[in-house]
């Protein structure tokens, strides 16, 4: 399975692109967030929204996480 590419938007509005592999897209996204921030993350909310219609419809997803400083 090829790595997933993520656009991660920070609180200040900056967008960072990160490519990571995981056991699935959510795991890969968490690895991307943790790689950028250098902190462990916990899932708070996950949403998927359709952005087009039809058999080849595209979707947008939003993941909200809580970050913990690594010890």
For residue 3, the model assigns a pLDDT of 76
For residue 70, the model assigns a pLDDT of 63
Domains in the chain, number: 1
pTM for this predicted structure = 0.61
**Which residue range(s) make up the domain with 28?**
4-68
Rounded distance between C-alpha atoms, residue 19 and residue 56, angstroms: 23
Cβ neighbours of 63 (radius 10 Å): 19
* Tens-digit pLDDT profile for residues 17-51: 888 898 888 888 888 888 888 888 888 888 888 88
Q: Residue 21 in contact with residue 4, Cβ under 8 Å?
A: yes
For residue 1, the model assigns a pLDDT of 59
Beta bridge partners of 47: 62
**Burial, 49: exposed, middle or buried (Cβ in 10 Å; 0-12, 13-18, 19+)?**
exposed
For the chain, what is the mean pLDDT? 81
């Amino acid at each position: 399975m090829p790595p997933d590419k993520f656009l991660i938007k920070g609180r200040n509005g900056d967008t960072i692109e990160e490519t990571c592999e995981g056991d699935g897209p959510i795991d890969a996204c968490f690895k991307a967030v943790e790689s950028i921030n250098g902190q462990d993350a916990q899932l708070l909310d996950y949403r998927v929204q359709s952005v087009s219609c039809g058999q080849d419809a595209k979707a947008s997803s939003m993941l909200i996480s809580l970050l913990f400083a690594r010890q």
